[in-house]
Amino acid sequence: MKYYSTNNQNLNYSFREAIMRGLASDGGLIMPQYIPALKKSFINNLNNLTFQEIAFEISKLFITDKIPSNSLQTIIEKAINFKAPLYKLNSNTGILELFYGPTLAFKDFGARFMAQFMNYYVDKMNNKIDILVATSGDTGSAVASAFYGIDGINVYILYPSGMVSQVQEKQLTTFGNNITALEIKGSFDDCQNLVKKAFVDKEINEKYNLTSANSINIARLIPQSFYYFEAYKQITDKYDNVIFSVPSGNLGNLTAGLFAKKMGLPITKFIAANNFNNVFSNYIKTKIFKSKPTIKTISNAMDVGNPSNFIRIFKLYNEKHGLIVKDINSSYHSDEDTLKEIKYLYKKYSYLIDPHGAVASLALKKYIKEENPENYYGVILETAHPFKFNDILKNILNINVEIPDSIKHSLEQKKVSIKLSNTYSLFKEFLLSRG
Ligand SMILES: *Cc1c(COP(=O)(O)O)cnc(C)c1O
């Protein structure tokens, strides 16, 4: 399996090159040259496979570099070491809970898979690498947690001081060891700019072997396809229509679902659920992809005005809007309706959903109402643990979400960060003094 740049079909990489680069050298996103097909017997036999066995079989098809089978198995066992249960809400709706990873969001799947592969390749190279990440919260904690304790990889996380939630800050700043939290006096964009400049800085590159752990890395996408199979396995009866509603921002989660369908998983329809950052929803409706400035909402991980994975979906469907709308429906929803939906699900089912999952629930309902599919089963992807949004839930439901055991520990630790201004020369000085 080779990988290509979305800017140039003829610019090719191996999986190892793809993961280490992140982006193609011409700035394009990296895509598999084809989506491998799974055997029908594999799909029919999902019931008899564990989540890790499913992950292993899919990985083998995407990663054909010379990685011994037992090494691949170890990588998967270390990365995908938590469950993805389908909570049966009612007879034809399930909620796929993707928040059992260490940082309570589905981004753990991608970050851990990428970290374990980098670990494997660094061992082989006998070299050290350094990772720079700018974060507005969730990505940084998933990356920090995934790389924590990995020999030969140092991670520097830049986050905007005072602009991440308390829980997020604890998750960024309490690891220590090979993880360094840099608290930047400035905005997320400032953090992003510092990282971008460092990547093209000659002096820094002489001292450091820099890599990004960017969300557009193909190694973060592949493992996200695993849980669509795991969800399908848990739907016990036969349905004519299986529909997945995906809370969407940068469209990585949706792209991974489309991979699963192309591999042969019989999903009838995807729904891209947007908040008022509705660039993709507008594209589905108007055939025109037009980025917009972001709007702040309560489902903040979906506040994306220029979703970078759009180009991957576009390529997957040969750039044809007509083919895209056959497989994907999309709608967008207000904060007000999102809060109502959280209340409704709690009152009716005693189910606590986070704002991102609530948007997906709204989008599924709208689709069912308008299209009236026969004999359907709808799956809502719940991408974050409701505890992460305790403030919002406390406000509208008058309850306190219980702290999940997995993060109690980090909440008790002392925050350790290095405070820096947003001036590039000072950031550079800091890096050079450390290298
Ligand atoms: C990142 C994120 C999303 C959006 O996922 P994309 O793959 O960027 O579309 C949705 N929900 C949560 C909780 C997230 O952290």
Q: Which secondary-structure segment (H or E) carries 76?
A: helix 69-79
Residue 52 contacts residue 77 (beta carbons within 8 Å)? yes
CB 139 less than 6 A from any atom of ligand 1:
no
Ranking 67-76, 211-220, 354-363 by mean pLDDT, the lowest is 211-220
Mean predicted confidence (pLDDT) in 413-434: 95
State how beta strands 3-5 and 269-274 pair.
unpaired
pLDDT > 70 in the chain, percent: 100
Which of 95, 167, 250, 330 best tests ligand 1's pocket when mutated (most atoms within 8 Å of CB)? Answer: 250
Q: Per-residue DSSP letters for 224-286?
A: GGHHHHHHHHH--S--SEEEEEEE-SSSHHHHHHHHHHHHT----EEEEEE-S--HHHHHHHH
pLDDT averaged over the chain?
94
Residue nearest to atom 8 of ligand 1 (CA): 250
CB 111 less than 6 A from any atom of ligand 1:
no
Residue 218 has pLDDT above 80, yes or no: yes
Dihedral pair phi/psi, residue 365, rounded to 5° = -60, -45
State how beta strands 3-5 and 30-32 pair.
antiparallel
What spacing in Å lies between the alpha carbon of 248 and ligand 1's midpoint?
6
* Model confidence pLDDT, tens digit, residues 45-56: 999 999 999 999
Token pair 């979703």: residue: 307
CB 356 less than 6 A from any atom of ligand 1:
yes
- Report pLDDT for 185: 96
CB 274 less than 6 A from any atom of ligand 1:
no
Residue 435 has pLDDT above 70, yes or no: no
Residue 137 has pLDDT above 80, yes or no: no
Contacts of 252 (CB under 8 A, 6+ apart): 110, 215, 216, 220, 221, 224, 309
Q: Quick one: 236 exposed, middle or buried, by C-beta within 10 A (0-12, 13-18, 19+)? A: exposed
Q: In what order do the strands lie in the sheet with 179-185?
A: 210-212, 129-134, 153-160, 179-185, 418-421
* Model confidence pLDDT, tens digit, residues 167-180: 889 989 999 999 99
Ranking 2-11, 124-133, 175-184, 250-259 by mean pLDDT, the lowest is 124-133
Amino acid at 411: L
User: Closest by alpha carbon to 51, among 215, 232, 220?
Assistant: 232
Confidence of residue 109 (pLDDT cuts 50, 70, 90): very high
Residue nearest to atom 11 of ligand 1 (CA): 383
What spacing in Å lies between the alpha carbon of 68 and ligand 1's midpoint?
32
Confidence of residue 337 (pLDDT cuts 50, 70, 90): very high
CB 138 less than 6 A from any atom of ligand 1:
yes
Q: How many CB atoms lie within 10 A of CB 192?
A: 16
Which of 29, 214, 356, 387 best tests ligand 1's pocket when mutated (most atoms within 8 Å of CB)? Answer: 356
CB 38 less than 6 A from any atom of ligand 1:
no
Residue nearest to atom 2 of ligand 1 (CA): 301
- Report pLDDT for 139: 86
Residue 182 contacts residue 156 (beta carbons within 8 Å)? yes
- Report pLDDT for 230: 98
Q: Which residues are catalytic?
A: 107
Residue 309 contacts residue 253 (beta carbons within 8 Å)? no
User: Closest by alpha carbon to 283, among 252, 311, 245, 247?
Assistant: 311
- Report pLDDT for 125: 80
Pull the structure tokens for residue 423.
């001036």
Model pTM score: 0.94
Which of 280, 383, 388 best tests ligand 1's pocket when mutated (most atoms within 8 Å of CB)? Answer: 383
What spacing in Å lies between the alpha carbon of 204 and ligand 1's midpoint?
32
How many helices (H) and strands (E) the chain has is answered by: 20, 14
Confidence of residue 375 (pLDDT cuts 50, 70, 90): very high
Token pair 């994907």: residue: 328
Pull the structure tokens for residue 278.
């509705």
pLDDT > 90 in the chain, percent: 84
CB 386 less than 6 A from any atom of ligand 1:
no
